[in-house]
Amino acid sequence: EAVSDYSADAFLAAFRRFVARRGLCDTVYSDCGTNFVGADRQLRELFQASNRETHRIIGRLADDGIRWKFNPPAAPHFGGLWEAAVKAMKHHLRRVIGETRLTYEEMATFLAEVESCLNSRPLQALSDDPGDLSALTPGHFLIGGPINALPEPSLLDARANRLSRWQLLQQMRDHLWQRWSREYMQRLAPRPKWWTTPGNLEEGQLCLVKNET
C-alpha cells in the first residue's frame, strides 16, 4: 500500500483502505524497526518518534479488536516467511523502477497491479487431474477465486520513449512479473540433498513445465 509519509496517520489511512477492501483482520505482524538503532542522531530521533506513534496506532487497532504482534528485537528470522517475500519483491522493485520518477497515483496503481500479480501466484494444484491446469492461489483466500485481469499485449520489448505514462507502468509491471515469476518458479522445484535419490517422473504425475515465452 502506498503512503505519502511515515506517520501514524498515513499508516492508519492505509490500514483503513486495506480493511475496506479485504475486511477486518484479526492479527497484524511486523518487526520492531530496530534497523534505526545505531544510526546517526537524526535517525535515532526518527526511531524514537516512531515508537511514540506506534503506541497510538496499537491503541487504535485495539479498538477494533485487532492484535499487533511484533517480532523480538534484532530477530528478523522470526518473520522469515514474509520477510523473505518482502525482500525479494523490494529487490525487483528497485531494479524495475530504477531512476523513474512516479507520481503518487502512478506508484499506487503500480503497487496495486504488483499486489494482483503476487496474489495470482500458484501455491499448489487444485486437483490430481493432469488435464486440470488450475492452481490454488492467494486470491482464492481473498475473494474466493482467482484474480482475473483484463488481457493486455506485452510491452516488454517496446521502446520506453514511445510509450505513454500508462503504458510505461504496464511495461514495468511486465518486467517485474517476468523477473519475480522466474525466481518464484525456481523455488517451487524440489531440490533434495545429494544423499536422497529422486524418483523419475511417471505418467499421471504433476510437474512444472518451463515456458520460454
Mean pLDDT of 27-55: 54
Quick one: average pLDDT of 7-32? 79
Q: In this predicted structure, which of 11-20, 32-41, 130-139, 183-192 has the lowest mean pLDDT?
A: 32-41
A 10 A CB-CB count for 187 gives 9
Residue 205 within any structural domain of the chain: no
Q: Are 137 and 84 found together in one domain? A: yes
Contact (CB, 8 A) for 204 and 130: yes
Do 174 and 119 fall into the same domain?
A: yes
pLDDT(97) > 80: yes
- Among 45, 70, 95, give the residue marking a domain's end: 70
Asked if 99 and 181 sit in the same domain, the reply is: yes
Whether 96 and 178 map to the same domain: the answer is yes
Give the model's confidence band at 59: pLDDT under 50 very low, under 70 low, under 90 confident, else very high.
low
Backbone angles phi, psi at 23, to 5 degrees: 95, 165
* Band of pLDDT at residue 90, cut at 50, 70 and 90: confident
Summarize the confidence of residues 128-149 as an average pLDDT.
76
Residue 169, C-alpha cell as written in the block = 507502468
Q: Which domain holds residue 15?
A: 8-70
**pTM of the full predicted structure?**
0.59
**Same structural domain, 90 and 180:** yes
Flag whether 115 is in a domain. yes
139 lies in the same domain as 56: no
pLDDT confidence of residue 37 = 35
Domain count, the chain: 2
Please provide the average confidence, as pLDDT, over all residues in the chain. 73
Do residue 87 and residue 57 come from a single domain? no
Average pLDDT of the segment spanning 166-181: 81
Taking the mean position of all CA atoms in its chain, how far away is CA 9? Answer: 22
In a domain, 195, yes or no: no
What value does the mean pLDDT take over residues 46-72? 65
Is pLDDT larger for residue 131 or for residue 52? 131
What percentage of the chain reaches a pLDDT higher than 90? 0
- Clarify whether residues 34 and 94 are in a common domain: no
Q: How far apart are CA 123 and CA 162, in angstroms?
A: 37
